[in-house]
Amino acid sequence: MTDAPSVRTAPHTVAVAVQPGNHPFEPAVACEVFGLERAELGVEWYRFLVCTEAGRVDLGCFTLESPHGLDELAAADTVIVPACQPDLGPSPALVDALQTAAARGARLLSYCSGAFALAAAGARDGHRATTHWMYASRLAAAYPAITVLPDVLYVDDGQVLTSAGTSAAIDLSLHIVRNDYGSEVANGVARRMVVPPHRDGGQSQFVAQPVPATPDTNALGPTLDWMVDHLDEPLTIEQMAAFALMSTRTFMRRFRATTGMTPQRWLALQRIAHARRLLESTDASIDLIAQAAGFGSAANLRLHFQRTVGTAPTSYRRTFRTAPALAAAAL
């Protein structure tokens, strides 16, 4: 969280390591997010490599061949390790490549049980990480030096970023795009993939029922919409509960059950997202944006912004202020 995000000016290389025992889905997420041509976004996109140790890998359902080897993985700017068999462990050559990449300052990502490979490479000592909830206790037991967060979608620990089960791989990947290119571009990618634009990393892996068992008569949907529509006003639990026609106690319980976080936190994330959009696409003053996003004061906006985005609002704008043409195309 120490470096400010920066727009990639030179081709930034993203490499995914495909190993025997991988499932196809996670490498495919990397291909989808980082590997597709994104001409419509008007930015210079990543250079994307699929790297293997032996040139060809049997993935069970099919065999994958690639000309790129682990030397290219070790030289990449961002390295992705998808889910692997925790029992097998990464090969010594892969561990070596990961260590070389880490020493060069490369960004290391894992999807699902790929966290075991990063841990084996020693990249995780003293840091926070996550993995699929099924593996969390095993990871913590095998690598006591790591603080394992068992119930989040992904963890951004600066150089090393880890994510939970399959769909969290998409969330982490979009998080990377957002850090590199800003939220307009990340939203463009999400829109084309037809996935929700942004799920925060701290969101719980255990969010309610993916599909409601019965048509949910008292769903929070309308209340969430209402909250987003009134972001610029100070909203108290009491007001939100009143809108939802519930007691405050029940409202908070239901809110956590359906979103995986507290109302306050959710509201803060929506406000930050709105502030990001305004910083990227308008020249309004920080104070005005603070008002419009419901932070009340510029000081308060800075506090929240720094904490969740890791940058000051002005430096974020300096980096991501989009060309008017792109901003106009976005809406």
CA distance 175 to 181: 10
Residue 316 and residue 310 in contact, taking contact as beta carbons nearer than 8 Å: no
Nearer to DNA, 92 or 247 (CB): 247
Place of tokens 């040139």: 55
Given 1, 60, 145, 247, the residue binding DNA (CB under 7 A): 247
Instruction: Give the binding range for DNA (CB under 7 A) out of 31-39, 102-110, 202-210, 297-305.
Output: 297-305
Instruction: Give the binding range for DNA (CB under 7 A) out of 14-22, 66-74, 156-164, 250-258.
Output: 250-258
Instruction: Provide the 10 A C-beta neighbour count for residue 2.
Output: 6
Given 92, 192, 196, 236, the residue binding DNA (CB under 7 A): 236
Nearer to DNA, 137 or 236 (CB): 236
Residue 297 engages DNA in binding (rule: CB under 7 A): yes
Place of tokens 């700017």: 77
CA distance 323 to 327: 6
CA distance 120 to 269: 34
All residues at 6 or more sequence positions from 304 whose CB lies less than 8 Å from its CB, including other chains: 268, 271, 272, 295
**Residue type present at position 205:** Q
Residue 165 engages DNA in binding (rule: CB under 7 A): no
What DSSP line would sit under 136-172, residue for residue?
HHHHHHH-TTSEE-TT-SEEE-SSEEEE-SHHHHHHH
Given 85, 99, 264, 282, the residue binding DNA (CB under 7 A): 264
Given 263, 280, 281, 293, the residue binding DNA (CB under 7 A): 263
Residues touching DNA, count (CB under 7 A): 24
All residues at 6 or more sequence positions from 184 whose CB lies less than 8 Å from its CB, including other chains: 277, 280, 281, 320, 322, 326, 327, 330
- What is the pairing mode between strands 47-51 and 13-17? parallel
Instruction: Give the binding range for DNA (CB under 7 A) out of 21-29, 150-158, 196-204, 289-297.
Output: 289-297
Residue 309 engages DNA in binding (rule: CB under 7 A): no
Given 238, 287, 288, 328, the residue binding DNA (CB under 7 A): 238
Instruction: Give the binding range for DNA (CB under 7 A) out of 186-194, 199-207, 219-227, 246-254.
Output: 246-254
Residue 230 engages DNA in binding (rule: CB under 7 A): no
Q: C-beta of 263: minimal distance to DNA in Å?
A: 4
Strand partners, 80: 16, 109
Q: C-beta of 330: minimal distance to DNA in Å?
A: 28
DSSP 3-state assignment of 59?
A: coil
Residue 167 and residue 156 in contact, taking contact as beta carbons nearer than 8 Å: no
Considering only residues 207 to 226 of the shown chain, the ones binding DNA according to CB under 7 A are: 218
CA distance 61 to 157: 34
Residue 199 and residue 171 in contact, taking contact as beta carbons nearer than 8 Å: yes
Q: C-beta of 247: minimal distance to DNA in Å?
A: 4
Residue 204 engages DNA in binding (rule: CB under 7 A): no
CA distance 183 to 202: 18
Instruction: Give the binding range for DNA (CB under 7 A) out of 23-31, 64-72, 150-158, 259-267.
Output: 259-267
Q: C-beta of 269: minimal distance to DNA in Å?
A: 11
Given 56, 104, 191, 253, the residue binding DNA (CB under 7 A): 253
Residue 191 engages DNA in binding (rule: CB under 7 A): no
Q: C-beta of 300: minimal distance to DNA in Å?
A: 4
Residue 270 engages DNA in binding (rule: CB under 7 A): no
Residues contributing to the site for DNA (CB under 7 A) = 218, 236-238, 246-250, 252-254, 256, 262-265, 295-297, 299-300, 303-304
